[in-house]
């Protein structure tokens, strides 16, 4: 069997693929967590790019590993690797995407009442809050869909199973960022 694995592509080899996966996934997690802190006051576009790029890289490596492992007939990953997908799904569900005073606020009207302290919110506040809540919800649900798609690769790509974790972090941080920007706008008086 050792003779066969020496001819396999890099990411299909057990040791090389595992090390590459560890480096890529761990690197993406570090970049996501640091990027989430650094981009706090940045625009939504900057934050999405900073947090989305590591996710795109790790998912890209996962797809390549899946294709290489499948093409050379490598053994499927053990079922315990699905613990990475389970950890990602757990993170996706429990990570708070409504920061600070907006925790648990689900409507634009309620968010504006909290932010402005008035029973009748302004039209500008309602528009900003609705956009922030909708954008956060879209980011959150797209992250869930991406985790499910990554789970489909996990049987052949060990990296994919663990790539779901930084994907969950990035998606939840992006979803949270929209409401954080709303808080910053009202904190600054705008």
Among residues 96, 93, 91, the alpha carbon closest in space to that of 29 is found at 91
Q: What is the mean pLDDT of residues 33-59?
A: 92
- Percentages helix, strand, coil for the chain (3-state, rounded to 5) are 80, 0, 20
Q: How far apart are CA 156 and CA 68, in angstroms?
A: 9
pLDDT at site 190:
53
pLDDT at 122 over 50: yes
Task: For residue range 20-36, list pLDDT tens digits in order.
Answer: 888 999 999 999 999 98
pLDDT at site 69:
83
Of residues 122 and 10, the one with the higher pLDDT is: 122
Domain count, the chain: 1
Please give the structure tokens belonging to residue 66. Answer: 């899946």
The fraction of the chain above a pLDDT of 90, given in percent, is 41
Residue pair 47/174 in contact (Cβ under 8 Å)? The answer is: yes
Kindly tell me the sign of the dihedral angle through the C-alpha atoms of 52, 57, 62, 64: positive
pLDDT band at 2 (very low <50, low <70, confident <90, very high): very low
Give the pTM: 0.85
| Domain encompassing residue 66 | 2-187
Of residues 3 and 34, the one with the higher pLDDT is: 34
Task: For residue range 69-97, list pLDDT tens digits in order.
Answer: 888 877 777 777 789 999 999 999 999 88
Q: How far apart are CA 160 and CA 57, in angstroms?
A: 11
Q: What is the mean pLDDT of residues 6-19?
A: 74
Task: For residue range 146-184, list pLDDT tens digits in order.
Answer: 999 999 888 888 888 899 999 999 999 999 999 888 888
Q: What is the mean pLDDT of residues 59-67?
A: 89
Summary mean pLDDT of the chain:
86
pLDDT at site 4:
59
pLDDT at site 1:
45
């Amino acid at each position: 069997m050792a003779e066969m694995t020496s001819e396999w592509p890099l990411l299909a080899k057990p040791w090389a693929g595992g090390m590459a996966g560890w480096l890529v996934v761990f690197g993406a997690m570090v970049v996501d967590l640091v990027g989430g802190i650094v981009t706090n006051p940045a625009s939504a576009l900057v934050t999405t790019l900073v947090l989305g790029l590591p996710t795109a890289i790790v998912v890209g490596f996962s797809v390549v590993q899946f294709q290489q492992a499948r093409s050379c007939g490598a053994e499927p990953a053990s079922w315990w690797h699905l613990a990475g997908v389970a950890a990602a799904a757990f993170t996706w569900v429990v990570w708070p995407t409504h920061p600070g005073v907006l925790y648990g606020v689900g409507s634009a009207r309620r968010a504006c009442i909290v932010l402005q302290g008035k029973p009748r919110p302004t039209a500008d506040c309602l528009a900003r809050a609705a956009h922030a809540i909708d954008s956060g919800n879209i980011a959150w649900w797209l992250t869930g869909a991406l985790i499910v798609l990554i789970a489909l690769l996990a049987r052949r790509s060990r990296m994919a199973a663990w790539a779901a974790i930084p994907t969950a972090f990035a998606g939840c941080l992006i979803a949270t960022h929209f409401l954080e920007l709303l808080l910053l706008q009202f904190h600054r008086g705008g």
